[in-house]
Amino acid sequence: MIYLQLCLYCLLFTAMVRYSVRGGAINGLYFYPKAVQERAYKIGLTDRETVKKQRKRFMTLFYIVMLAALVLIIAVWNHISDFRNAYLQALLFLEVMNLYDGVVIDKLWVGYSKFWILKGTEDIPFVQTWAQVLKKRSFLALIWVIGAAIAAGIVVLLAKVI
């Protein structure tokens, strides 16, 4: 059952990323390296204020949806109510999501899909190298240790209510 839940969670992650770029890859410019962003501003594809608003709007929605889904899976679907088990499950989901993002999203989808190529920036590398992926994922792995504790705390609070 946990494998199905992990797959569904990663599918939700993919759907959220796809939602963020529903009008084209330019709507996800905040995902790109600074050099690509600067070129996009310079050639008039978009402006800083628009990207700032899009990033804030999407990231807020993303964190709310992904946290809510995680808490519901653990508390409601899996009937977990104690902190330790909630923490371990949350950490598993967040770390799998972290690896999924680095490998499937960053390296495969972005790396091999023409969708992510922005006209006028083709000469600027935008796909992360394996070293960059490893560095970023290692840092995020530490962040998710804290994130899992927050999710587990919410699960425990929710368990007291329901």
Cβ neighbours for 148, distance < 8 A, ≥ 6 positions apart: 87, 88, 90, 91, 94
- Of the pLDDT bands very low, low, confident and very high (cuts 50, 70, 90), residue 162 is confident
Residue type present at position 138:
S
Helices (H), the chain: 2-20, 34-42, 48-72, 83-100, 110-112, 130-161
Tallying the residues shown for the chain, one arrives at 162
Q: Please say whether the beta carbons of 10 and 97 come within 8 A.
A: yes
Q: Please say whether the beta carbons of 128 and 107 come within 8 A.
A: yes
Provide the token pair at 91. Answer: 């950490």
Average pLDDT over residues 129-156: 98
CA-wise closest residue to 66 among 128, 138, 2, 15: 15
CA distance 132 to 148: 24
Give pTM, 2 decimals.
0.94
Q: What angle do CA 17, 21, 24 make, to 5 degrees?
A: 150
Q: For residue range 82-138, what is the model confidence (pLDDT) as tens digits?
A: 999 999 999 999 999 999 999 999 999 999 999 999 999 999 999 999 999 999 999
Residue boundaries of the structural domains of the chain: 2-161
Is residue 8 scored above 90 in pLDDT? Answer: yes
